[in-house]
Amino acid sequence: MAFTSRSEQTRAAILAAARHRFATDGFERTTIRAIAADAGIDPSMVMRYYGSKDGLFAAAADLDLHLPALATVPREKLGETLVRHWVERWEGGLSDELLIVLLRSATTNERAAEQLRTVFGAQVAKALASVVDDPAEAPTRAGLVSTQMLGLALCRHVLRLPPVVALDVDTLIATVSETVQRYLTGPLTS
């Protein structure tokens, strides 16, 4: 490795262990001691490197959705593009536990909730601003899209509702894409 000083190495080990624990247990049930044990070091090391449990969580939950650029996507493919990106990110396995970290903790931890609000209020709305008809509608459409995307992730990867888990990826993408496409380009008024 290029420049992994000894401290950087354990620092990274702590972060990896923290992400895993936060992802499977949520914020409250995760203990510093368990993280330290997973990382093979002493609990006090965690404090030295990250200051506090809150500080560690902030570092572990620092997230960027990396949404694809939508400007060049044909209008009728917007929904599918977003949903495919979303689903594949989740199906990608353990390489990316960041989303489940946030989702699991956001229902009880205000810091996590605030970050989810930021991610979905800013990142998604911004990605959409350039492609929706009326830029003023971007936040609303981003919100509607969020309900479907987060609901899907919640049911499939957190709650693990059996019929939702059983859906094959292609059917899932095809079915949900239509919904998202309508939220992006359909009428908004009642």
Tokens of 97: 């536990």
How many angstroms separate the CA atoms of 25 and 103, rounded? 11
For residues 44-103, which are near a copy of itself according to CB under 8 A? 103
How many angstroms separate the CA atoms of 137 and 133, rounded? 8
Residues 6 or more apart whose CB falls under 8 angstroms from that of 87 comprise 152, 169, 172, 173, 176
Residue 6 binds DNA, judged by CB under 7 A: yes
Residue 101 binds DNA, judged by CB under 7 A: no
How many angstroms separate the CA atoms of 170 and 100, rounded? 22
CA 48 vs CA 55, 97, 125, 142: distances in Å: 11, 24, 37, 39
Amino acid in the structure at residue 83: V
**Contact partner at residue 158 from DNA, a copy of itself, none, CB < 5 to 8 Å by partner kind:** a copy of itself
**Contact partner at residue 25 from a copy of itself, DNA, none, CB < 5 to 8 Å by partner kind:** a copy of itself
Residue 111 binds DNA, judged by CB under 7 A: no
Residue 3 binds DNA, judged by CB under 7 A: no
Q: Which positions touch a copy of itself (CB under 8 A)?
A: 25-26, 28-29, 103-108, 113, 116-117, 120-121, 125, 139-140, 142-144, 146-152, 154-156, 158-164, 166-168, 170-171, 173-176, 178-179, 182-183, 186, 188-190
Q: Which positions touch DNA (CB under 7 A)?
A: 5-7, 9-10, 30-34, 40-48, 52-54
